[in-house]
Each structure stands twice: as structure tokens, then as C-alpha cells.
Amino acid sequence: MRARAAQLREPFRRALLEFVELRARRSTLLEGLGGGGQVDPQLLGRRGGFEGLGGFRGSHGPSLTVEPRRYCDQVPADQPRVLSVGFVPGVTPGKWASRWRERHPGVPLELHEHDADAALEGLRNGSDDVVFVRLPVERAGLHLIPLYEEQPVVVMSRENELSLLDEVPPEELGAQTLLDVGACGGPGNAVEVAASGAGVVVLPMSLARLHARKDAVHRPVPGLPVTTIGIAWRVEDESDDVEEFIGIVRGRTAQSSRQPSRQEAPKRTAAQKAAAKKAATGRGGGQQGSGQQGSGQQSHKQQGSGQKGGRRRGR
């Protein structure tokens, strides 16, 4: 009886041992992942555990492996295109972005503002497709088109005597304390210092308007060098999206034949035109011959009908 009972218990004992072993391996795997990984349920449910897979070793138990889940494997190959546009402070790309979205609603456009010193970093590392920059910049490896000039202005406290003028002659700045933008920590801080009456600062008008304050005013300074805003993109980037956006910025309309979206089929060469003409002539000659043959047959039938009619009348 004892031998029979032991024989009956043996399958249950083996099943229990396999269950305990599988639970232990699952715990080992989760410990090795630190609780932050994702495990394929098919692997956890695989009979016989993870032996033979190799490669991953936990703090306990045998060598274990988790199938890697790479991001590129989870992202569909047909990801929608996105046009990334960077710009420096003072540039207002909203009008160009609006025109892009009207003409190409299926291609999202993202805007990213960058500090002037780091404006080209996003372009060179590929995170931006085009960037609006304030010249001068390092042009190596870039296409760059100047777009427009910015008028220089002097920013000062409302209490400054120069605020009474409509325009400030450059020689009048000699009697003022000129602030260095870099030493002040940027245009915004420089305007704040100027508003306090500690000095005046010369900026492009766009930056003066961007950092405008109630306690500060700005006046044009004719005769000072202007600054220029341009648009830059990588030399190796010849995508249609970039060319399309450059065209929008340069003022091309939606119907412009120079826009990639309006490009016609490539023109045929002279040899292709001659071959097409020859083929068309051959087809036309064949149809003409067939027409003449059909007309002859029809005339012959009509003549035969006339002869028969004459015989009937004769009778």
C-alpha cells in the first residue's frame, strides 16, 4: 500500500517541484531587471524556464535571457514627417509657420527658440531642419540666405534726457554709460539695468521690443551698423520639405512653379520627343490606310447594289 501511495504521489510531487522552480526563476529575473524592465509573457510562460537562452545572469540561479525590446523595433517605419524650425530671440516665425500649415496640413511644423550662442547646435546635430539666425555666424557646412535687416535702437530709462528725442544721433551716446550685453548676462538683463538709469544699451529693435518694460524706452540711432536675420540649413539636406519652407520664407506663393509641391514631370529630351513623334506618325498612317481600305469596300458594295437595282428595273 505504501509503495502504491508513493507511486500515486510522484506526479504531483514533480509538478510541485516544477512550479516552485519556475516561481524561483521568475523572481530571479525580476531582481536582475531591478523591477524596471518589461518581460515578454511568452518567455515567463515558456516551459522549462530560460535554460539555453543564455546571456543574462541574475543574483541567483541559472543564466537567464530577456529578449531586447529596442525602441526602433516598436516605432512604425512610416512615421509622419515633422519639420523642425529653430529661431533666435527677436525673430517672429509665426507668419511663415501659418502659411506652411495652410499649405501642408499633413506635415506638422515645430518651432524651437534658441539662445543666440547656441542657435546652430540644433541644426548641426540634426534636431532642427532650418534655423533663423542673427548674423554673423559660422557658415561652414551650411547654406545661409540673408532675409532682412534690423534697425539698431538705444534702450534707456524714461528719465533719461535722450528719451525726449525722436532719434538719437550716434555722437550723443558718447556722453552715456554704454552697457555691454554679454557682461549684463543677455539682452533681458541689459534692458533691466538700463531701465534703472545705470546706463544705456544698444540693441536690435526686435530685441528691444521683446524685452520692453514700462520704465524703459527705446529710440532709433541712425548711422549705427544694422544687424541681419537669415535662414540657415545643412548643405547635405536637400529634402523637399526644407526647400518648400525656404520658398515660403522667400515669398513664393502656393502656385509658384519653383515650389517642389508644384513641380511638373521632368521635360522629355529631344530624342524622346522624336521617338514619340515617330510612334504617333506610324499609328496615324496605319489608321489612315485602314480607313481608305474600308472606304473602297463600301464603294464597291454601293456599286454592286446599283447594278442589281438596274437589273430589277430592266425586268
Enumerate the domain spans of the chain. 2-73, 83-148+232-258, 152-225
Cα–Cα dist 155/40, whole Å? 63
Angle at 265 between CA 263 and CA 269, to 5 degrees: 125
Name the helix (H) or strand (E) containing 134: strand 130-134
* Amino acid found at 253: T
Cα–Cα dist 276/268, whole Å? 10
Question: Per CATH, which fold does 152-225 belong to?
Answer: D-Maltodextrin-Binding Protein; domain 2 (3.40.190)
Nearest one of 43, 9, 2 to 25, comparing CA atoms: 43
Strand positions, DSSP E, 176-285: 201-204, 216-220, 227-234
Say which residue the cell 526644407 belongs to: 242
Let me know if domain 83-148+232-258 sits in CATH 3.40.190.10. Answer: yes
Say which residue the cell 556722453 belongs to: 175
Question: Is it true that 83-148+232-258 and 152-225 share their CATH fold?
Answer: yes
- HSE-CB at 219 with a 13 A cutoff on CA atoms is 18
If DSSP codes are grouped into helix, strand and coil, which group holds residue 25? helix
Q: Give, for all 315 residues of the chain, the pLDDT tens digit.
A: 555 555 656 666 666 566 556 565 555 544 544 444 444 444 444 444 444 444 444 444 444 444 443 333 343 444 558 999 999 999 999 999 999 999 999 999 999 999 998 999 999 999 999 999 999 999 999 999 999 999 999 999 999 999 999 999 999 999 999 999 999 999 999 999 999 999 999 999 999 999 999 999 999 999 999 999 999 999 999 899 999 999 999 998 877 755 665 554 455 566 666 777 777 776 655 555 555 554 455 544 455 544 444 444 444
Cis omega (within 30 of 0) on the bond before 136? Answer: yes
DSSP-assigned letter for residue 174? G
Say which residue the cell 524685452 belongs to: 211
